[in-house]
Amino acid sequence: MSRTQRKHAIVWLLCLALGGAACSTPEQKPDETQEQVAEKPEQSASKEVPPEVVDGQSDEQAQQEAEALPQADEPEEQAPERKPGEKIVIDSDFKSDLADALEAAKDGDRDAAVSELQSLADRRNGGFLAAFNLGVLYEHEGDYRKAAQRYSQALQKNPDFSPALLNLVRLYLRLDQPRDAEKLARKYTNDRPENMDHRAVALQVDLHEGKYEEVIRKAKQILRRDEKNVESMLAMAEANIQLERAELAEAILDRAHELRPERAEIYFKYAKIRSQEEKLSDAISLLEQALQKRVNFPEAHNNLGVLYHEAGDYNAAVKEFRAAIGDYPDFKEAYLNLGNSLKGLQKYKKAEKAFTKALEIDADYGDALFNLGVLYLDSDIEGIDKIAQLNKSIEYLTKYKNAAGGRIEKDDPAGKYIAEARKTIEVEKQRQEMMRQAQMQAEDDSGDESSESSDGSESADGQ
């Protein structure tokens, strides 16, 4: 392996990021719209988005919105519009208008979709669906504050609508606000104690914190009351995957598949098990099935790219990573993986750009800092002086060590690479000095020869 891959191989980050539901229609039950994240030993992220939504924000704008995301414990100005168990009747006109709005989003007419959904969101019956889909659209664009507001509006109109709670909880988790995610999940599970889907959403917080045994215990409690609750099955399967209990995880997924064979996430999790078993061809086939079930599935594209990279098919890997980024523009892990595959293709300038983009999303992203430092250390990047490039290597490897702080492992090679870069700088300086002196000597010799030739000509003329 290259030293980049030795330290941070193509990675699948254990990270619950933007997960959640796809554009939902009135005919769908709550659990039909929910999709969870993908994780493997080290790296992945999550987000479900409406098809073909365009025009995202800049990273700076998205960061400003993220920083302004409200705290989960901020008081609600209004009481919920509906009582527990209150029936919601959605008329055919609303269904038709919602379908038109979603079709506009699919066709790339973002403004028309937003305008229609905003109008529909004010309706009492069905407005929660429009508000929810607005949240999905804004989340895809990176406008996290507006996304949070719309998910909250959906829950205000229908406090039993679990897909909105799921997306809002995952949004808080992605923005590193686990306390707010936990408060939000607890609030709605307490307010709606009979809603087992809400309880299943709360498992996302425990998964995020690595409390896998707790997830399994709570999922079993949910299944005792609702034996067909697929969301709790998926959470329990994920916990067992992380605990490397592949046989048990697969049995749980088999049951979920019996109930919901159209769920893309089931195939995705099967693929993770096959990857753990190093059955890569089976894992690839399962990820392809997941993408057939759900086209906009950035985690599946990312993990498929990982498998192609491991097989040495860097071109195919690049294609998948770019598809993941197209679905989820803030997917820093996909940018990292893209950089590694571009490096494998010896496209060093493009690899540099991919690593840099990951750092624009997260300036303290250790894997990107490390891999960029190594890229500068052992690659010839066009347009950069060798010594300047090595100094950049030292800069980014030092940033990596600082970001890791006390968490850095004893055998971490960053210090060794920094020393290597410094030694190479000295060697390069000596080489450049020798070349300079050789050039000066050559110029002196050329001058002497020219002078001798001139003197010889003058003597001949004198004769």
pLDDT at position 36, please?
Answer: 28
What is the reported pLDDT for 239?
A: 98
What's the predicted TM-score (pTM) here?
A: 0.76
Alpha carbon distance 85, 77 (integer Å): 22
What mean pLDDT comes out for the span 249-264? Answer: 98
Q: Is residue 273 part of a domain?
A: no
User: Could you give phi then psi for residue 24, rounded to 5 degrees?
Assistant: -110, 150
pLDDT digit string (tens) for 409-446? 888 999 999 999 999 999 989 998 898 888 888 877 77
pLDDT at 14: 27
- Of 168, 192, 207, which residue constitutes the final position of a domain? 207
Cα dist. 331→98, 142, 170, 267 in Å?
Answer: 29, 11, 14, 21
Domain boundary (207, 227, 250) is at 207
φ, ψ of residue 13 to 5 degrees: the values are -65, 135
Closest CA to 380 of 354, 353, 358, 349: 349
pLDDT at position 43? 34
Q: Which two tokens stand for residue 384?
A: 């950069």
Would you say residue 109 has pLDDT above 90?
yes
Domain limits for position 434: 364-463
Judge whether 156 lies within some domain. Answer: yes
State yes or no: pLDDT of 83 exceeds 90. Answer: no
For residue 288, being part of any structural domain is answered with no
- 232 located within any domain: no
Total of domains in the chain: 2
Q: How far apart are CA 323 and CA 338, in angstroms?
A: 11
pLDDT band at 89 (very low <50, low <70, confident <90, very high): confident
- Distance between CA atoms of residues 84 and 87, nearest Å: 9
| Per-residue pLDDT band at 34 (split at 50, 70, 90) | very low
The CATH number for 108's domain is 1.25.40.10
Mean pLDDT (the chain, rounded): 83
Residue 68: per-residue pLDDT: 43
Question: Is there a domain that residue 449 lies in?
Answer: yes
User: Nearest-CA neighbor of 259 among 291, 286, 226, 215?
Assistant: 226
pLDDT at 72 over 70: no
Instruction: Give the tens place of pLDDT for each residue, 52-62.
Output: 222 223 333 33
Question: Quick check: is 415 in a domain?
Answer: yes
Residue 219 lies in a domain: no
Give how far Cα 270 sits from Cα of 17, 226, 280, Å: 20, 23, 12
Residue 303 lies in a domain: no
Show the DSSP H helices in 123-229 as ranges. Answer: 127-141, 144-157, 162-174, 178-191, 196-208, 212-225
List, for residues 214-237, the tens digit of each pLDDT value.
999 999 999 999 999 999 999 999
CA–CA–CA angle 125, 131, 137 (5° rounding): 150
- Residues 337, 183: Cα–Cα separation, whole Å: 34
pLDDT at 452: 60
| Cα 400 off chain centre by | 20
What percent of the chain stands above pLDDT 90?
66
Average pLDDT over residues 355-372: 97
Q: Render pLDDT for 149-173 as a digit per residue (tens, 0 to 9).
A: 999 999 999 999 999 999 999 999 9
Q: What is the pLDDT of residues 292-314, one digit of tens each?
A: 999 889 999 999 999 999 999 99
Q: Which of 207, 232, 263 is the last residue of a domain?
A: 207
pLDDT of 175 reads 83
pLDDT for the residue 46: 31
- With CA atoms as reference, report the closest residue to 375 among 338, 320, 332, 321: 338
